[in-house]
């Protein structure tokens, strides 16, 4: 999974029409390194070469790193412009002491273990990626796309995301969980209705409208939707709207009135009540947490 994220750099070269990135795969001893699927990846041994960005990847089963790997990463932290950890690569950076006192994230299933093992790390367990100084951590592919954006801007990053067939380039503060994935509809009809809702948030999105998108009667649709998702259509639509509102809050470019209108809540009060139900916090508190994270990253 970690190696797959490196495809973003290859796609960036294609988008830019030049060799903007050269990727070198390193290991302590060099030679073939067997991965979790059972086949080997060729690597070069650690040396004295300088790399602009050093990215470390972990493994499905986290295990202690060798002294040589930890020493190499500590040196890289002082010579590379950026040091990054993909998925459980964050454990390796933490083991090397590079995350002490820093904000960091990893795959959601490992986040609490990372916090328990390395209490000096400020683990943000539900972020897509975190940036603290020159240290970047992420759950996966989003980190590589974000690095490309850092180097060449949002338009190149969007083009790379399209080539990777990623639905969109997600902001770092967005939840690792998507409302659509969380609902997990089994049938194409319910899935079509949810995609329609996500794309038309400013509509009323009544049961009748969603049923029409699913090509079902309202009664059939309501029954099937609850069977497949365990929620009412109205509750699912609220979750989609809150997810979109969180993204707009993190961007920091819009007033609460605009966010409420653009996400279909119509007014700030309805959005406030929905936020309290879902997060136990009003939108202003959610927004302040994003703003605080941005300020910390700049510092």
Distances (CA, A) of 214 to 89, 138, 190, 195, 199: 42, 36, 6, 10, 14
Tell me how far apart the alpha carbons of residues 57 and 93 are, in angstroms, rounded to a whole number.
Answer: 10
Evaluate whether 190 touches 147 at the Cβ level (below 8 Å): no
Closest CA to 62 of 38, 94, 39: 94
Quick one: angle between helices 7-16 and 154-163, nearest 10? 120
Residues designated catalytic: 87
- Please list, in sequence order, all residues whose beta carbon lies within 8 angstroms of the beta carbon of residue 286, skipping any fewer than 6 positions away: 246, 249, 275, 279
Contact 215/225 with Cβ under 8 angstroms? no
Q: What is the dihedral of CA 17, 20, 26, 32, to 10 degrees?
A: 10
Cβ-defined contacts of 285-293 (< 8 Å, 24+): 286/246, 286/249, 287/249, 287/252, 287/256, 290/173, 290/249, 290/250, 290/252, 291/252, 293/103, 293/124, 293/173
Phi, psi of 292 (to 5 degrees): -65, -40
Q: Please name the residues in contact with 224: beta carbons below 8 A apart, sequence gap of 6 or more.
A: 187, 189, 190, 214, 216
State the sign of the Cα–Cα–Cα–Cα dihedral 219, 192, 183, 174: negative
């Amino acid at each position: 999974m970690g190696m797959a994220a490196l495809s973003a750099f290859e796609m960036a070269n294609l988008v830019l029409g030049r060799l903007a990135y050269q990727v070198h795969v390193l290991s302590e001893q060099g030679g073939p390194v067997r991965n979790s699927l059972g086949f080997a990846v060729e690597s070069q041994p650690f040396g004295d070469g300088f790399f602009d960005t050093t990215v470390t990847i972990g493994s499905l089963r986290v295990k202690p790193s060798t002294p040589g790997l930890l020493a190499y990463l500590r040196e890289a932290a002082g010579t590379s412009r950026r040091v990054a950890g993909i998925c459980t690569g964050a454990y390796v950076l933490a083991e090397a002491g590079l995350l002490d006192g820093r904000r960091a994230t990893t795959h959601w299933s490992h986040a609490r273990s990372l916090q328990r093992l390395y209490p000096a790390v400020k683990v943000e367990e539900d972020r897509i990626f975190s940036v603290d100084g020159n240290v970047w951590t992420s759950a996966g592919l989003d980190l590589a796309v974000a690095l490309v954006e850092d180097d060449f801007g949002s338009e190149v990053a969007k083009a790379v995301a399209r080539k990777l067939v990623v639905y969109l380039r997600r902001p770092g503060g967005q939840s690792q969980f998507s409302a659509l994935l969380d609902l997990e509809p089994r049938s194409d009809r319910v899935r079509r209705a949810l995609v329609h809702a996500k794309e038309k948030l400013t509509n009323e999105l009544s049961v009748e409208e969603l049923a029409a998108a699913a090509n079902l009667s309202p009664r059939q649709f309501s029954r099937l939707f609850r069977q497949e998702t365990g929620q009412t259509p109205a509750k699912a639509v609220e979750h989609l709207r809150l997810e979109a509102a969180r993204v707009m809050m993190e961007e920091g470019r819009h007033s609460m009135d605009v966010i409420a209108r653009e996400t279909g809540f119509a007014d700030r009060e309805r959005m406030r009540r929905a936020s309290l139900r879902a997060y136990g916090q009003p939108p202003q508190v959610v927004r302040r947490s994003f703003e605080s994270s941005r300020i910390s990253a700049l510092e």
